[in-house]
């Protein structure tokens, strides 16, 4: 059936509010030109309107051409619990690997392109390979920083991840009646939202309690340590694409 290419990227590593979303997109190698024709690029280089328009085209093409899309959606509770004993890098290795598993088939040959999250891009690739327990010589991993700018399949994955995270943030803002902004620490809307939410007696689950700016805001308003998460099995993970589109 020929070689398939998988691009993998994430949205939401740094924000103090909302989920981390990882996307893997698998397409036949010969379909790469379709993504180029759609105007796919690094999601950060595209306007919100353009991202969503291209996202719709990617989804339509995936249905008509049998492309496979895997999404792993980690909410703040999952992130906080993971970081009790592990690192954000290791969470992303897990999430990237799970997304790849969703879109891959052991009977096919793959080239996997990763937008590396680790400062050491090669180490990130090795960790993904180890997590996947790759033994097949016909599966190759290419891991580098800014892969979403250099590889069109990874760029498409970045768009899908970003659009799904944006939608999640919009839903959270609607549910809370507060404009949460992007969730990034430097965003004025997000700063104001963190202050408002940390004034309350119960800390909303949309906040990442392991982030220093959330911890500082809580401490300033309450003069006591931020409450720890209650540990529940498998909390905070969603990997079904149709529940986020």
The structure tokens 């890098």 sit at 89
pTM above 0.85, yes or no: yes
Q: What fold, for 177-222?
A: Arc Repressor Mutant, subunit A (1.10.10)
Residue 2 — pLDDT band, cuts 50, 70, 90?
Answer: confident
Residue 155: enclosing H or E segment and its boundaries? helix 152-176
The mean predicted confidence, pLDDT, of the chain is 92
Give the architecture (CATH level 2) of 3-170.
Answer: 2-Layer Sandwich (3.30)
The tokens of 136 are what? 């097949």
Q: Which part of the chain is CATH 3.30.420.10?
A: 3-170
pLDDT at 107 (0 to 100): 87
Q: Which part of the chain is CATH 1.10.10.460?
A: 177-222
- Tens of pLDDT, residue by residue over 35-51, are 999 999 999 999 999 99
pLDDT at 1 (0 to 100): 65
pLDDT at 133 (0 to 100): 87
The tokens of 154 are what? 């990874």
pLDDT at 241 over 60: no
Q: Taken in order 167, 172, 173, 174, is the CA torsion positive or negative?
A: positive
pLDDT at 231 (0 to 100): 52
Q: What is the mean pLDDT of residues 71-93?
A: 96
Backbone phi, psi, residue 24, to 5°: -120, 130
- The C-alpha atoms of residue 243 and residue 46 are separated, in whole angstroms, by 25
The structure tokens 């149709």 sit at 242
pLDDT at 178 over 60: yes
Residue 232 — pLDDT band, cuts 50, 70, 90?
Answer: very low
């Amino acid at each position: 059936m020929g070689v398939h290419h998988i691009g993998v990227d994430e949205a939401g590593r740094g924000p103090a509010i909302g989920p981390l979303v990882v996307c893997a997109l698998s397409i036949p190698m010969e379909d790469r030109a379709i993504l180029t024709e759609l105007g796919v690029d690094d999601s950060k280089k595209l306007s919100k309107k353009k991202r969503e328009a291209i996202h719709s085209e990617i989804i339509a093409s995936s249905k008509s051409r049998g492309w496979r899309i895997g999404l792993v959606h980690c909410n703040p509770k999952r992130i906080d619990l993971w970081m009790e004993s592990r690192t954000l890098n290791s969470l992303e290795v897990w999430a990237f690997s799970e997304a790849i598993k969703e879109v891959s088939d052991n009977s096919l040959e793959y080239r996997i392109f990763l937008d590396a999250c680790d400062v050491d891009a090669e180490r990130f690739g090795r960790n993904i390979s180890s997590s996947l327990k790759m033994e097949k010589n016909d599966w190759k991993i290419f891991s580098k920083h800014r892969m979403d700018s250099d590889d069109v399949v990874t760029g498409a994955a970045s768009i899908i991840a970003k659009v799904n995270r944006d939608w999640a943030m919009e839903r959270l803002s609607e549910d809370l009646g507060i404009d949460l902004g992007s969730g990034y620490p430097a965003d004025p809307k997000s700063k104001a939202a963190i202050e408002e939410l940390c004034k309350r007696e119960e800390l909303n689950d949309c906040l990442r309690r392991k982030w220093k700016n959330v911890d500082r805001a809580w401490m300033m308003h309450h003069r006591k340590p931020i409450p720890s998460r209650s540990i529940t099995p498998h909390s905070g993970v969603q990997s079904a694409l149709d529940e986020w589109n």
